[in-house]
Amino acid sequence: MAIPGAEDGGHALVFGPVVDGCLVRIHSRCLYGDALRSDDCDCGPELDLSMDLIQDAGCGVLVYLEQEGRGAGLIDKARGLRTSEVFGLDTFDSYERLGLCVDTRSYEHTARALLHLGLRSVRLLTNNPDKVRALTELGIAVTVVPLVTRPRSERARRYLEAKRRRRGHTLPAEDETWSALGRSVRRFSSRRFAPGCWWRRLLAL
């Protein structure tokens, strides 16, 4: 299913019989975190946990968007990470130092795709209020399911703190809180998909 807006396009993987109230994860591509397993961010752990939760539920939708580096692209993302390393800045300050917009992503096309699937209410796996806002503005009722993943490095902890402070993400403010919240999702941390291809269809966004 092609949807206008290539800069925020991607694919939707539909798992099982999708019905109102199912789990939905909207995930922006992160080569470093998703594929190379970088410890600098929470992208890989969030994707892993989302897939585990959807499998445990038996149905859901994973929307995987081509929005590397909060929409800046892989090259500018790499420049931002290097600037952060050299000057001790968070990635938001690094983007501003490089003259980049800190976040150019839009989720409107994703919301329309979910409507096209017949969804009018979802349980959204997210800490990002922008994703919630995009869906609710188009009439989709959203129940937020926070994604709690323990930071795997000090740099990841600082990145999560920057997202909480700069972008309003619903993340714990103290390390002790991570431990308390993490217990509720720890049972999924060692699981991966069962053998075989159990996703039902793949849609192009």
DSSP string, 121-177: EEEEE-S-HHHHHHHHHTT-EEEEE------SSHHHHHHHHHHHHHH-----SSHHH
Give the per-residue pLDDT at 164. 84
Low-confidence ranges of the chain (pLDDT < 50): 1-5, 176-198
- Read off the pTM: 0.82
Q: Where are the domains of the chain?
A: 6-67+107-204, 70-104
* Whether residue 56 lies in the annotated active site: no
How far is CA 11 from each of CA 14, 43, 127, 129, rounded to the nearest angstrom? 10, 17, 21, 21
CATH placement of domain 6-67+107-204: 3.40.50.10990
189: closest CA among 63, 14, 46? 46
* Whether residue 40 lies in the annotated active site: no
Which of 79, 103, 123, 150 is catalytic? The answer is: 103
